[in-house]
Structure 1
Amino acid sequence: MPLLQLSQDGCSLSLITNSGQCQYDVPITRELIDTQLHELGVENFYRFEPAITEALELLNVAVSNEEQDSDVAVEIRQIVIAERRDAGLLVKTEPDLMTASVTVTGAFGGAQVTGQQLITALQENHIVKGISKAVLQELLVQAQQLAPGEKLTMGVAFGREPQHGRETWFEPLVADASQRILCPQATEDGKVDMLDLGALITVEAGQAVMKRHPPTQGVDGFNVLGKLISALPGEERPFEPGDGTAIDESDDSLLIAVKSGIPRRMPCGAQVDDALTLAGVDVSTGHIQFDGSVVIEGDVKPGMKVSATGNITVSGFVELATLEAGGDIFVAQGIIGRQQENKTLPCRIQAKGKVVSKFAQYAEIVAHESVSCTLHVLHCQIKTSGLVSVMDQSRRQGTLSGGTVDAGQGVIAVNIGAAAGVTTEIVVFSHYQQWRDRLGELYQKIEHERRNGRKLKQAKLKLLKVTAAKRPPELIEKLKAASASHQQTMADLKHRYQVLRQRYDQTLKNAKITATTHFYAHIRCQIEKEFMMVDEEHGPSVVCYDERRLQRLAYHA
């Protein structure tokens, strides 16, 4: 009698055992079973290991009982030890319904997965959108090469996040004065004159200075089940003309100058300032306070103070001085302070716009928009709502080391810290609590409006209990008006909450501390409320908020 027997349909394999009579002279082993599986060509069948163990025990008991009575009744049993199995197929959808994956399990001697099976499985799981045909084809190819029981998982369907509309944006139509600082003029012999910043940027009356682009509606997204995810439309923002500018009567998307002067950009508009030009600022000129923009074609000497409602442009150095501008501050050569025993720094630069310089050291710099230096920033105290950038246009030099930096949007430099291990503190998105407070206020208003909605619903139900003839018409109209107002208020509050939440999440996602070449040790990093200490030197790195915590990742340009 054969040891193994294949079923008539070829789908299962049984091991034949006798009780009471032995037909085998030697113990039956798994190696012997494996040999016969190969001889039958079913070595890839799925094996029932407990059944094989049971059958082996029965067989080997019979083999050991060689002196048993031949007249004992023989009971023949068939124990199924293996079966043919087709390739397995499992569809899984992520909780957010934005990704669906397929897991294929290699066949145990059975049929391989077909394209039609994949499509049917997706349909049965209601996966109808974002299916990648290329990925399905690749899955089929790789599935054919799977060993029995081997698993292969691939994402095959992908939802599309909504692309929220862009808010109104304003395009400057005149050159930025900061480019004069960052790009000194070349002389006839090809050299660069660091003191020659080219012609002063001015505008004439009637010249367009800014263009307003309308907001976009955005592009709706979808999940893998085909459900639409609505995009939030961009916010409409009107022009805010400043002094010396007006909206063009023939084109309300253009802002024009109404007088000649120096243009100054503002978040939602521009203004044109009168200009005061000086050779330098020292004891001979005294402190400068001017209603407009100030252009200094030399240095600002120690102890001096320059205040302007517009921009301040300095062609030379600012040393141990104070600059305050209602617009931007541009310093061509550098900002020089001095180390003090206390934390107060004697060189102070403050701008409602941005601060741009070649370098800064031992200085306090406060800028609403951003701070940019091309060479280095050493032992400074910097605070800005925008980005701090320390690198030249070639991105080859730029070191931020020592001091403290509080940047709303992020920090990027070629090198952060120093090989000597200078302690540097960097905080990004420190004003997150203001955003959270605003979100909390909106949420409370939404909850309050929900309670109003429930009260309206109760009033309607109470009114419905009254017979139609006895319902006061004025009360019906009042409830209709209140219901319409409630729905409009809820829609407005939810939209405002969604927009603010989306901005918060995007700001947090973009908040990064980046060193494109060296990230030295002793750097204390904080983003939002999370912080980490970088205690070892690293190459190109970026510290960012990822997976609910701060992480240092390799930086790739």
Structure 2
Amino acid sequence: MSQQPLQLSQQGHTVSLRVEPLDDAEMEVSRGDVYAALSNINANQFFIFENAIDSALEVLNSDSASNISVEPKTIIIAEKRSAMLIVKTSPDLMTASMTIVGAYGGNRVTAKELLSALKDNHIIKGIRKVQLQELLTKGQSLVSGEKLTLTVAFGKPAENGTDSQFKPLVEDISQRVLRPQHKADGTVDMLNLGEMVSVTTSQAIMRRIPATPGIVGFNVIGNDLDCVAGQEVEFTVGDGTAISDNNENLLVATKSGIPLITKNGMQVDDALIVKGVNATTGHINFDGSVVVQGDVTSGMKVTATGNISVSGFVELAELNAGGDVVVINGVIGKPQHSNDGHLACYIKAKGKVTSKFAQYVDIDAGSNVELSLHALHCHIRSQGEVIVLDQFKRYGTLSGGIIEAAYSVKALNIGALAGTPTEISAFSKCYDLRNQLNDTFKLLEDEQIQMNKIREVELKLLQIPSTKRPSELITKVMETKEKHVKKMSSLKEHYRSLQSEYEEVRGAVSIAALNHFFSGVSCRLERLTMNVNEEHGPCRIMYSANKLEIIPL
């Protein structure tokens, strides 16, 4: 290489090599010789054009005798490059990142260049100074060609407002069964659930939290992202309640009684309070709520248009409520049936059914069925969920019997070690949803038939000379068409909404055991069935790729 020195440009930005075939006596030049020469002139950190070096070596090491026509030439083989900056934004413009490519012997990135690059790319909001400082600091130590990428700007998503929310100011009696009282020593008393819930005249029973307007967001280029304001929802003023004269966001009781939480409001039922229901009291049929401060004994019936609350046990009895049923201690039946085909111990509620435990009990609930200790050999039909679990997730065994839930089923343990036959059917709501989908589809088909008839009429009208077309008929056809177009649009939107609800619920329902899922359990979700033939730990059975799978929790 002594005869072929490297040359720096006058500005010191490039390195060139004069090449021509060497004499035969010369030693062959290697790539290492070129690198060593670059190092000798302090250019080893420059960006090297490897292909140019290949071309130079080819000429240098060629046979001079056979390359008489090759003219000496100068080839640029390296150049100095300052650090590069690359700015990228995410497709939604909610983040911006910067990449520094280490300098090849040139200048490192400065803070001014970072800010200029952001400005040139219109990144003006959500810039994080800490990330910029980190990028600048780490960028100084990058070796040639090394890359460092950091996200330096973050947009802020719009926050939609929340609708009005309703906070009960009195306790929900059904939740007390699932939340036993704590003792002074910190332990839990499963038998002590406190006093029965009741309210007095003028007592505040529910607070409305007003809707919020939402917060406008922004992206990194400074565009505002609109938010949707929450909707103001009015109180549902039930019997025995009124909106406070002093505070429009407060609901008060207008009479003493038992509070019942409803959607967006409450009602206060008249309450019949009895010490117990037995042969001395006879059956009870009351227009309002019934509070039994004791047991409901064998063979007795309690019927109420409101809630039924029992502070003791229910044994081989029948409860029928227009609201919720709450049994503090538990419900006990036997494997025997009444004349109507139900188990001899039968509970029916339009609302929720809550108890500590149930065994050999027939339960029909218009909402959830929630038991804190166990459900043994019961037949439960729920229009909501079936949950056998206490608040602390220490107890809850579902074993034996037949369980039918509109949505999910959840317990601490499902089945039994002995393989007790248990049938569980979840997502029975699917049949209602599918029927609604089919009914809506049929209505759409009917509307399409009507639209086809209207088009036939329109074609016949077009065949009549325009001067002879009856204006009244044209007007009537147009009005009819507009009516059916609107109805079809409404039906299509309703169909899409039902389909979306169906898919969402289908993907969420499950049969879940938080501790043990024993063998001997037959599970059904919609039309699919699965028999659990071996014990599993915490898991749930749910839809996955249009089949049922056991998924560990």
TM-score by length of 1: 0.67
Q: Which residue of 2 aligns with 1:255?
A: 251
1:264 alignment partner, SS class: strand
Q: Deviations over 1:182-232 (max 9, x none)?
A: 344578999865444332221122222222232221111222222222221
**Match in the other structure for 1:357:** 355
Q: Could you tell which deviates more after superposition, 127-136 or 76-85?
A: 76-85
Q: 1:525 to 1:127 in 2, by over 3 A?
A: farther
1:49 match: 50
Query: Does the alignment pair 1:88 with 2:84?
Result: yes
Q: What SS does structure 1 have at the residue aligned with 2:236?
A: coil
The secondary structure found in structure 2 opposite 1:206 is: coil
Q: Which residue, out of 218, 226, 231, partners 1:222?
A: 218
Alpha-carbon spacing, 1:70–1:245, altered in 2? closer, same or farther (3 Å): closer
| Residue from 147, 155, 160 that aligns with 1:159 | 155
**In 2, are the aligned partners of 1:401 and 1:424 still within 8 Å (CA)?**
no
Q: Does residue 19 of structure 1 match 2:21?
A: yes
Deviations 1:279-328 (A, max 9, x none): 55577766654322223344556776644332222334556766443333
CA contact (8 A) 1:318 1:331 kept: yes
Is the Cα contact below 8 Å between 2:386 and 2:410 reproduced in 1?
Answer: yes
CA distance in 2, matches of 1:268, 1:318: 32
Structure 1 vs Structure 2 CA RMSD: 5.3
Distance 1:59 1:339, change over 3 A: farther
Distance 1:198 1:168 in 2: 31
| Aligned-partner Cα distance in 1 for 2:36–2:335 | 85
- Taking the aligned partners of 1:544 and 1:12, their CA distance within structure 2 comes to 66
The match for 1:127 among 89, 104, 123 is 123
2 CA distance for matches of 1:533 and 1:140?
61
Q: More displaced, 295-304 or 327-336?
A: 295-304
1:162: how far off? 1.8
Q: Deviations over 1:426-447 (max 9, x none)?
A: 659969969x98xx99xx9xxx
Q: C-alpha offsets along residues 60-111 of structure 1, whole Å, 9 cap, x if unaligned? A: 3x2xx3xx55995763222223322232322222222222222333333333
SS at match of 1:81: strand
TM superposition shift of 1:120: 2.0
Aligned-partner Cα distance in 2 for 1:521–1:72: 91
| Partner Cα distance (1:109, 1:519) in 2 | 65
> Is 1:406–1:430's contact at 8 Å kept on the other side of the alignment?
no
**Which amino acid letter does the alignment assign opposite residue 52 of structure 1?**
I
Give 1:255 deviation, angstroms.
2.0
* Alignment deviations for residues 420-472 of structure 1 (CA, whole Å, 9 cap, x no partner): 999977659969969x98xx99xx9xxxxxxxxxxxxxxxxxxxxxxxxxxxx
Q: What pairs with 1:354-433 in structure 2 (closer than 5 Å)?
A: 354-359=352-357, 370-376=368-374, 383=382, 391-398=389-396
| CA–CA separation in structure 2 for the residues paired with 1:12 and 1:543 | 68
Cα 1:427–1:186 change in 2 (3 A) is same
Question: Partner of 1:100: helix, strand, or coil?
Answer: strand
Q: 1:513 to 1:31 in 2, by over 3 A?
A: farther
CA distance in 2, matches of 1:292, 1:3: 107
Q: 1:428, 1:511 within 8 Å by CA — same for their partners in 2?
A: no
Letter in 1 for 2:46: F
Measured at CA, do residues 69 and 244 of structure 1 come closer, stay the same or move farther in structure 2, by a change above 3 Å?
A: closer
SS at match of 2:51: helix
In structure 2, give the amino acid aligned to 1:53.
D
In 1, Cα distance between equivalents of 2:23 and 2:284: 117
Report what 1:100 is aligned to. 96
Mapped contact 1:195–1:316 kept (Cα < 8 A):
no
On the 8 A contact 1:430/1:527 being kept in 2, the answer is no
Pick one of 5, 9, 12 that aligns with 2:11: 9
The 2-side partners of 1:24 and 1:511 are apart by 80
SS of residue paired to 1:163: coil
1:478 alignment partner in structure 2:
none
Once residues 103 and 532 of structure 1 are traced to their aligned partners in structure 2, the CA distance between those partners, rounded to angstroms, is 53
Matched, 1:271 2:272: no
Identity of aligned residues (%): 47
Retained in 2: the 8 A contact 1:336–1:363?
yes
Q: Which amino acid aligns with 2:111?
A: G
Residues 236 and 78 (structure 1), Cα distance of their counterparts in 2 relative to 1, 3 Å cut: same
Q: Is 1:234–2:234 an aligned residue pair?
A: no
Select which of 327, 333, 336 maps to 2:323: 327
In the TM superposition, what whole-angstrom CA distance separates every residue of 1:8-52 from its partner, at most 9, and x where no partner exists? 323223343213645741352x33333334444333333333323
Q: 1:51 to 1:321 in 2, by over 3 A?
A: farther
* Count of matched residue pairs: 484
Change (3 A) 1:57 1:223: same
Determine the C-alpha separation between the residues in 2 that align with 1:524 and 1:136. 59
Q: Is the 8 A contact 1:354 1:368 kept in 2?
A: yes
Cα shift at 1:417? 8.2
CA contact (8 A) 1:411 1:428 kept: no
Indicate if the aligned counterparts of 1:282 and 1:304 stay in contact, CA closer than 8 A.
yes
What amino acid is the match of 1:232?
Answer: V
1:372 Cα deviation from its structure 2 partner: 4.1
Q: Where in structure 1 are there 5+ consecutive unaligned residues?
A: 445-488
Partner AA of 1:82 in structure 2: A
Contact kept in structure 2, 1:273 and 1:292, CA below 8 Å = yes
For the pair shown, which has the larger CA radius of gyration, 1 or 2? 2
Cα offsets for 1:486-545 (capped at 9, x unmatched): xxx9xxx9xx99xx99x98xx98x968798965869999999999999999998889999
**Counterpart in the other structure of 1:472:** none
- Greater alpha carbon shift after TM alignment, 320-329 vs 252-261: 320-329
TM-score by length of 2: 0.68
Aligned pairs for 1:135-146 (under 5 A) are 135-146=131-142
1:202–1:262 Cα contact (<8 Å) kept: yes
Q: 1:69 to 1:232 in 2, by over 3 A?
A: closer
SS in 2 for 1:171: strand
2:111 to 90, 97, 115: 115
> Given that residues 20 and 74 in structure 1 are in contact (C-alpha distance below 8 angstroms), is that contact kept between their aligned partners in structure 2?
no
Note the C-alpha offset of 1:349: 5.2
Contact 2:356-2:371 within 8 A present in 1 as well: yes
